Chain A
């Protein structure tokens, strides 16, 4: 990647004060809030959905009794579902507002888009070659292919799980335009897709994003919104290089996050990971027993 070396050389001068670490914005406050709503409602939905899915298991019965029975569990599940639906709609509104009304470039296509492109395919194979020691490590753009997969998995998941969930919640209403067997299918789809989401998020997403050596034990950027220049350069070298080449790097400069906020985020994040891993273990024990 010769262009990156050039950029690094170019930037050898601006980074004159090595004592002062530079931070760059990755996520806006609004995006972080949506992620916070997403992960807290997802934990709530998982914690209340799993006992229903595995209603025969011992821990599900204990958990149900603990929170005041299944009336309470169902109420909480629906409450989280409504909140998450709201967050989903806000996000869809944001995307269309930015892409269509504000005509912001790069929303639907290009290096900063969530839409998969040819580079993602190349990165996937390149990454796999690197895993096996057969090639260099790919350099990633703003969103790497596994991050795009996470995004679309959640996007598709919310539509599928949401739709099947509402179909069961308001079954007589949905039965006006759905055939009867669709109501049977709704539960199969809802529970299988929910299980996939839970297994994926609590194992694959946790490891890929937080627990792998590059980010261990937790990538705080989704809480603080900023990351250090060093981390930015290493994890998303292509984006860093592109911004530098376009001269847009300075526009992304941000304040270092206050230490109390980092601590607070860390507590929230570890709690989420702990709950997630606990649910993962419970799911696996119920699934294989």
Chain B
């Protein structure tokens, strides 16, 4: 049953029948095709009124008579204007779902916009179908790759972002049928705004939505601090899309993602980002080309981020030798006393470092101040001497 419902049939245009005076109850396709097989056939408004009989016959609705959908056609000749086909006669659940969705006020026929030619609807497992997994992005992209449309509804132009993402690559380059495409996350008929708490893309629902495929990561995430916070209703805590983005998802081991990930964490953890910037990890790593230096999640974990006080955390004191040792072969207990977020400006937190920095700054300031004064006075005096006594006309540069 589901199979039939998800490929809802639509028969849009009016038809002219040549068999006069006939009762059309149970009218079969071949009768209508006598006229409508003509590829040039148009109605008085210039709309295409032809049906490819072969394609229709192989389509999901091929066994149905024409007036199963074009129910207002009772006899021949039929009126020039016939009523639009109402798919919900059969597909009531989908119609109800659609009516409550963001697409409910679609101007075009709501079903054919996505399912395509009403006389050529195929099951979604058929590569000819507009909603076959590999065809979905293109189908949705018909509207959602359009800047004007995107602006009008305040939506980002997501199609190119998706196509360049790891999901888009898997789908378009590898033909991976299980790769997430639009409806994997947004659903199909009952698409809701991400602001709607019922939506699969509402913030607190996102872990479950992504977890539909990434089950292990969802389980990890729910164990972690961020997962706990979101479940407690803290909407500031990040969900999958806050770090990975929604449509432009990158392979996390890629340089590009490693470069962009730290500022994302830092957008909430500002103090930690600032102290991270003072370290060699950041200095070496923040300029691209060398992405091996530790980023936030190399030490803190990515999905199951836990406080250092939690013994399961990779930054729990007992785990530091292992965690640091992943990059620093030979890390020992003293080595892991290194503070990756030390603040040399904070006397209370890092007194030793504070005074080291103070000493270095005083040294720098005093040496430079003294010598700048010394050199400027010298230059002035030497110049005066040069002008008045003709001395110091440069060295002879031997």
Contact = CB atoms under 8 A, between A and B. Distances in A.
Given A171-B335, A200-B368, A228-B398, A188 B344 contact: yes
A185 B356 contact: yes
Contacts of A155: none
B395 A64 contact: no
Interface string A71-111: 11110000000000000000000000000000000000000
Given A131-B378, A132-B377, A200-B371, A183 B352 contact: no
A253 to B, nearest CB: 13
Contact of A130 (B279, B289, B328, B381): B381
Size band of the B side of the interface?
35 or more
B367 interface: yes
Interface in A197-248: 199-200, 203-204, 207-208, 212-221, 224, 226-228, 230-231, 234
Nearest to A68: B289
Given A72-B289, A193-B360, A172 B398 contact: no
A289 to B, nearest CB: 15
B364 A224 contact: no
B92 interface: no
Nearest to B286: A55
B40 interface: no
B253 interface: no
Contacts of A256: 398
A187 interface: yes
A61 B368 CA distance: 28
B98 to A, nearest CB: 49
A215 to B, nearest CB: 5
Nearest to A178: B334
A133 B388 CA distance: 13
A184 B394 contact: no
Q: Name B's interface SS.
A: helix
Contacts of B1: none
Interface in A112-169: 127-128, 130-133, 137, 146, 153, 168
A193 B290 CA distance: 25
B338 to A, nearest CB: 4
Contacts of A203: 372, 375
A27 interface: no
A223 to B, nearest CB: 10
A64 B289 contact: yes
B395 A231 contact: yes
Nearest to B396: A228
Contacts of A64: 287-289
B328 to A, nearest CB: 5
A268 interface: no
Given A53-B283, A74-B284, A175 B360 contact: no
A179 B398 contact: no
Interface string B356-373: 110011011001100110
Given A74-B284, A180-B339, A187-B280, A266 B397 contact: yes
A195 interface: yes
A262 B190 CA distance: 83
Nearest to B360: A192
Nearest to B339: A184
B334 A179 contact: yes
Contacts of A130: 381
A215 B395 contact: yes
Interface in B378-394: 378-383, 385-386, 391-394
Given A185-B352, A196-B368, A257-B398, A70 B381 contact: no
A276 interface: no
Contacts of A42: none
Interface of B: 277-280, 282-290, 328-332, 334-339, 342, 344, 350, 352-353, 356-357, 360-361, 363-364, 367-368, 371-372, 374-375, 377-383, 385-386, 391-398
24 contacts: A51-B287, A55-B283, A64-B289, A68-B289, A71-B290, A133-B381, A153-B367, A171-B328, A172-B329, A175-B332, A175-B335, A175-B338, A184-B342, A188-B353, A193-B360, A196-B360, A213-B383, A213-B392, A214-B394, A216-B394, A217-B394, A218-B397, A220-B395, A227-B395
* Nearest 7 A/B pairs, CB to CB: A69-B289, A180-B337, A70-B290, A175-B335, A192-B360, A172-B330, A131-B377
